[in-house]
Amino acid sequence: MTPGKSAETARPARRRLSVDRRREELMAAALELFSKRDAEDVSIDDVASAAGASRALVYHYFGGKQELYVAALRSAAEQLESRLRPQGGGRPLDELSAGLTRYFDFVEEHAAGFAALLRGGPANRAGEVGEIVDGVRQRLFRLIQRQMRVEQPSPVLRTTLRSWIASVETAGLDWLEHRDIERPTLEKMLVDHMVSLLSVAAGYDPDVNRLLILLTREQLA
């Protein structure tokens, strides 16, 4: 065997990936980095190194870091939103519980995407990225409205539901960091938290009080 051939044999074969697959790999590497550090602290070189790709390849697919950041977060948002499609057919609190299970399935299976999407920081509150994050929250809000059989929430109920959504997000991030509460326990605790919030809100809004009575009756039926 000639020396040239030996060197060629020893060189690892380069994987040939489709355009979509390569983009997915780059976005997955980016999400992993964005889940641990603020976007401004992650460079194109960091993403290229994590993905085992060249800097030029990242620029070829995304044009720059902001484009990559937006694409990666949009991908994570779409995956999460696909889990939040309403199922229907059950009692409201049972539907809420089932929705939480699907939500935490995503949290567990796509930890980097969830953390990158919902971590704090100015980059997650402005521009196109802010619109993506707000879109996920709005979809979750509309899902809960549907589960609660509410067409037009009052200001008190709207505030209550949005407060609960913020609690769910925080619980998801905390669970990923510590994992010292069993998932079923955490999910049940969040359903009970919703009932507790509604119980408080009922003292300020008769419509919420009627909703709470309806939820309780249906749950006991």
Q: Can you tell me which residue has the tokens 């006991």?
A: 220
Convert the pLDDT of each residue in 97-142 to its tens digit: 999 999 999 999 999 999 998 886 555 567 898 999 999 999 999 9
78, 71, 84, 87: which is closest to 30 by C-alpha?
71
Give me the half-sphere count of Cα atoms (radius 13 Å) on the Cβ side of residue 174.
11
Fold of 14-70: Arc Repressor Mutant, subunit A (1.10.10)
Domain boundaries, the chain: 14-70, 74-220
Convert the pLDDT of each residue in 165-195 to its tens digit: 999 999 999 999 999 999 999 999 999 999 9
Fold of 74-220: Tetracycline Repressor; domain 2 (1.10.357)
Convert the pLDDT of each residue in 54-63 to its tens digit: 999 999 999 9
Distance CA 50, CA 31 (A): 11
Distance CA 146, CA 4 (A): 67
Same fold, 14-70 and 74-220: no
Q: Quick one: pLDDT at residue 220? A: 82
